[in-house]
Copies of this chain bind each other. A is one copy, B any other.
Amino acid sequence: MNIQLGHSKQVRRAYGIDEIALVPGAKTIDPDITDTKLKIGGQTLEIPIIASAMDGVVDVNMAAQLTKLGSMGVLNLEGVQTRYENPKTVLEEISKVGKEEFVALMQKIYSQPVRKDLIKKRINEIKALGGIAAVSGTPIAAMKYESILKESDTDIFFLQATVVSTDHIGKEGSQSLNLPELCEKLNFPVVVGNCVTYEVALKLMEAGAAGILVGIGPGAACTSRGVLGVGIPQATAVADCSAARNEFEKKTGKYIPIIADGGIITGGDICKCIACGADGVMIGSPIARAKEAPGQGFHWGMATPSPVLPRGTRIKVGCTGSINQILRGPAGLDDGTHNLLGAIKTSMGTLGAKNIKEMQNVEIVIAPSLLTEGKVYQKAQQLGMGK
């Protein structure tokens, strides 16, 4: 809070992950013996990467595949998978519509009601294929579908809103989410997000969250900083919320993982988020590029289909390889979007970090902002200007 914004305001500078770089020190380590494990909500993932609960990213098959690869995918309970018996045809429509008709089509598709039977069905399908049943919903959905989730074989629930708070003021007579109560009632762990500040992260942990999603406004498919003015650069947000995690552990002995969510495209981005203090990351667009992804080469945000104020854009991300190649390589691309686990391990080796905990303590510098090729392309595509 040391910058004067005119006479009346004290502000601070927040940093994005494009503005930082990691500094190699006096120690290196063989990448093969680094330990990248992420423990969250009773699950242990070899790869500290969770696929976003977005309709272009995770469906039943992708969720199962990700589990096999040592990662985890989250199924959106309020997306096309639970609104349509056969989501394939709907997803195909989305991938084929022109830019002009896109918003209208999305608004139409997402006006179809969510079906409880389909929620149960999808969870069962994931379990049948051996996958972790990780599902997500908004606070409203959490209240509405509480019983069906408890009856189903849910492994872990992601309670997600653009911004989550522990103190929501609703309309008179409206029902509001009581987070501590919900966390206690449910028979599976609840990961909560998104938040960006020390204070809110601490409150969510105190309310019983099994993990915290960090990130508002920085993502490629998210335009909330443009539409709402709201957002905080990711490096600072992750560093702040990680400090809350450490504080909470000191007080209670409980370690609640911090998951950086938004704006992450390359292996380097993942490494930098961990160096800022994250225990793992949630990513959307890099997974949407897998040939197995439901989006068929396209990716869009969860606020996109809003009937009143659509935010987020459909991005043509293309198909660049298999999900195996994207997560475990070997890389067929040299732009940092293939073999993400390999990148994490190589970076940890280079920086001499034996595990995620040590990686959280490597030296960081503020460096002149670097737009990587992938990001420039994505931005250009967002704007419909590139190839």
Report A's interface with B, CB cutoff 8 A. 3-9, 11-16, 18-30, 32-33, 103-104, 107, 162-172, 174, 195-200, 203, 216-217, 223-233, 235-240, 242-244, 246, 266-272, 275-277, 304, 306-313, 329-336, 339, 342-343, 346-347, 350-352, 354, 363-370, 372-374, 376-377, 380, 382-383, 385-386
Q: Pick 16 A–B contacts, CB within 8 A, sort by A.
A: A7-B240, A8-B239, A21-B232, A21-B233, A22-B230, A24-B216, A25-B197, A30-B168, A228-B347, A229-B275, A308-B331, A309-B339, A309-B342, A309-B346, A310-B333, A311-B334
> Contacts A103-B331, A370-B226 known; A343 to B242 CB distance under 8 Å?
no
A30 to B173 alpha-carbon distance, docked (Å): 12
Task: Select from chain B the residue with minimum beta-carbon distance to A200.
Answer: B26
A367 contacts B14, C-beta separation under 8 Å: yes
Q: Which of B23, B26, B196, B364 contacts A166 (CB 8 A)?
A: B26
> Contacts A21-B217, A165-B352 known; A30 to B365 CB distance under 8 Å?
no
* 14 extra A-B contacts, CB within 8 A, seeds A226-B335, A309-B339: A6-B14, A6-B238, A13-B367, A14-B365, A26-B199, A26-B200, A26-B203, A27-B169, A163-B350, A226-B373, A228-B271, A229-B347, A230-B271, A230-B351
Q: Which of B19, B226, B334, B352 contacts A169 (CB 8 A)?
A: B352
A210 to B264 alpha-carbon distance, docked (Å): 41
A162 to B22 alpha-carbon distance, docked (Å): 14
Residue of A267, A270, A377 contacting most chain B CB atoms (<10 Å): A267
A28 contacts B168, C-beta separation under 8 Å: yes
A8 contacts B243, C-beta separation under 8 Å: yes
Chain B residues lying within 8 Å of A167, measured Cβ to Cβ, are 26-28, 352
A311 to B342 alpha-carbon distance, docked (Å): 12
Chain B residues lying within 8 Å of A103, measured Cβ to Cβ, are 331-334
Chain B residues lying within 8 Å of A197, measured Cβ to Cβ, are 23-26
A23 to B214 alpha-carbon distance, docked (Å): 13
In whole Å, how far is A277's beta carbon from the nearest beta carbon of chain B?
6
A24 to B14 alpha-carbon distance, docked (Å): 14
Task: Select from chain B the residue with minimum beta-carbon distance to A380.
Answer: B385
Task: Select from chain B the residue with minimum beta-carbon distance to A16.
Answer: B368
Task: Select from chain B the residue with minimum beta-carbon distance to A107.
Answer: B330
Q: Which of B24, B225, B266, B270 contacts A230 (CB 8 A)?
A: B24
Task: Select from chain B the residue with minimum beta-carbon distance to A198.
Answer: B7
Task: Select from chain B the residue with minimum beta-carbon distance to A313.
Answer: B334
Task: Select from chain B the residue with minimum beta-carbon distance to A32.
Answer: B171
Q: Which of B235, B330, B331, B367 contacts A231 (CB 8 A)?
A: B367
A268 contacts B228, C-beta separation under 8 Å: yes
In whole Å, how far is A218's beta carbon from the nearest beta carbon of chain B?
9
Chain B residues lying within 8 Å of A227, measured Cβ to Cβ, are 266-268, 334-336, 343, 346
Chain B residues lying within 8 Å of A235, measured Cβ to Cβ, are 5-6
